[in-house]
Amino acid sequence: MNMKSLKLVSHNLGETQTIGKRLGELAQPGDLFLMSGNLGTGKTTLTQGIASGLDSPDYALSPTFVLMRELKGRLPLYHIDLYRLDKIAEISDLGLDDYLYGSGLCVIEWAEKGITVLPPEHLLIKIKYLDDNGRIFEFIPEGKRYRKLLTQLKSFSTLK
């Protein structure tokens, strides 16, 4: 099955974290999850769930002012935030290759700011407001690994 995308709806923070937890459980070394969405749509909340799915004892906070936080778990989680960067050159100069091509999981918030300099194979996660508490998550796989991950995510029976 070649899925072009998968949309999931979350009605609250707990459901968003559950979606993230499943993503963390499915994550493999070298995975790259790119998140795109307005302020307050749930990028960091989703990342908190991902950390939980990686059995991380650490709590994911927004790395906006430090650009990157590393969380320990089954895999290292490199939580990167491009919010404060405005130029592609700034993103290129960050020296992220060790993280992007390493043995951990990279989760990048505000990834749309650097999409042209990030690896072409990734899982793009677009997040939009449904209402005050609800969110729509659209998962767009780029590459065979991420199409497989999407099929696994779709089969997660508690998600609709």
CATH code where residue 57 lies: 3.40.50.300
Range of the domain at 140: 6-154
Answer yes or no: is 96 within a domain: yes
Domains: count for the chain: 1
Q: Which two tokens stand for residue 72?
A: 């320990």
Answer yes or no: is 160 within a domain: no
Answer yes or no: is 95 within a domain: yes
Spatial contact of 112 and 36, defined as CB atoms under 8 Å apart: yes
Answer yes or no: is 92 within a domain: yes
pLDDT at 157 over 50: no
Alpha-carbon span 108 to 119, nearest angstrom: 12
Q: Looking at the whole model, is its pTM more than 0.85?
A: yes
Task: Identify residue 39 by its one-letter amino acid code.
Answer: L
What residues contact 97, with CB distance under 8 A and at least 6 apart?
none
Answer yes or no: is 1 within a domain: no
Give pLDDT tens digits for 11-64.
999 999 999 999 999 999 999 999 999 988 999 999 999 999 999 987 666 655
Of 40, 3, 35, residue with least CA distance to 19: 35
The strands making up 135-142's β-sheet, listed across from edge to edge, are 6-10, 135-142, 122-129, 32-37, 105-109, 77-81, 68-71
